Chain A
Amino acid sequence: AQSVTQLDSHVSVSEGTPVLLRCNYSSSYSPSLFWYVQHPNKGLQLLLKYTSAATLVKGINGFEAEFKKSETSFHLTKPSAHMSDAAEYFCVGAGANNLFFGTGTRLTVIP
């Protein structure tokens, strides 16, 4: 079975400090993996995607994620949090004909 697990339902950081949102995946093969962000009352916006090319993926707004097969992880990071980063983040996996979602991590940024 394929699945992704977001290890933290809520992460709180101070503005200007690093962000780490954790995602582990389970799959019999290397899936495509994505991070999406959802701001309040908005739709899902793609931050970045991994599709078996480079293992370090750079996305929009200074976010990046590293695919680690040995750890089955795809954690999202950002060196310095900004107030506008406060949102819900979803780790999503995609097989050939399906999508599988993490339950989301709410990021709070403290001024």
Chain B
Amino acid sequence: NAGVTQTPKFQVLKTGQSMTLQCAQDMNHEYMSWYRQDPGMGLRLIHYSVGAGITDQGEVPNGYNVSRSTTEDFPLRLLSAAPSQTSVYFCASSSGGVQAFFGQGTRLTVV
């Protein structure tokens, strides 16, 4: 099925651990992005990419890395997890402003 596949759905990390959130789309979209959602703050843009090999920072990039080696995949890496990174993370893809597709979200807890 076409869409955005985001994994894992839930994750608990200890402070200082690293992990990668996976995001893949099969719609050949150029634009992919990562957001975090915190209570009362809506969705805030972490990093985005407008095509393979091109990434850029969003509103809250600190503590996160991304890469875009293929059009399909856009993983988000937490380098050294901190409790402030406890959040719900969403991946999205879109093309030409037609429609944005979202992954199901990852609920991350850092203890």
Residues of A participating in the B interface, judged by any CB pair closer than 8 Å: 31-32, 34, 36, 41-44, 46, 49, 51, 90, 92, 94-99, 101-104
Question: In the complex, which residues of chain A have a beta carbon less than 8 angstroms from the beta carbon of B48?
Answer: 98
B residues 55-110 near A (Cβ < 8 Å) are: 90, 92, 94, 96-100, 102-105, 107
Number of A-B contacts (CB under 8 A): 53
Contact A95 B100 (CB under 8 A): no
Known: A43-B105, A98-B48. A32 touches B41 (CB 8 A): no
A59 to chain B, nearest CB (A): 12
Closest to A106 in B: B40
Contact A96 B96 (CB under 8 A): yes
* CA of A32 to CA of B107, assembled, Å: 29
The answer to whether the Cβ of B50 comes within 8 Å of any Cβ in the partner chain is: yes
Q: Mark B18-59, 1 if CB is under 8 A from A, else 0.
A: 000000000000110101000001110100101000000000
* CA of A95 to CA of B42, assembled, Å: 19
B102 to chain A, nearest CB (A): 4
Contact B102 A90 (CB under 8 A): no
The one of B50, B99, B102, B104 in contact with A97, judged by C-beta atoms closer than 8 angstroms, is B50
Known: A97-B30, A97-B50. A43 touches B103 (CB 8 A): yes
Known: A97-B30, A99-B31. A32 touches B98 (CB 8 A): yes
Question: In the complex, which residues of chain B have a beta carbon less than 8 angstroms from the beta carbon of A31?
Answer: 97
A73 to chain B, nearest CB (A): 18
Contact B99 A34 (CB under 8 A): yes
Known: A43-B105, A44-B90, A94-B94. A99 touches B100 (CB 8 A): yes
Query: 6 tightest A-B contacts by CB?
Result: A103-B42, A94-B97, A32-B97, A43-B104, A44-B102, A97-B50
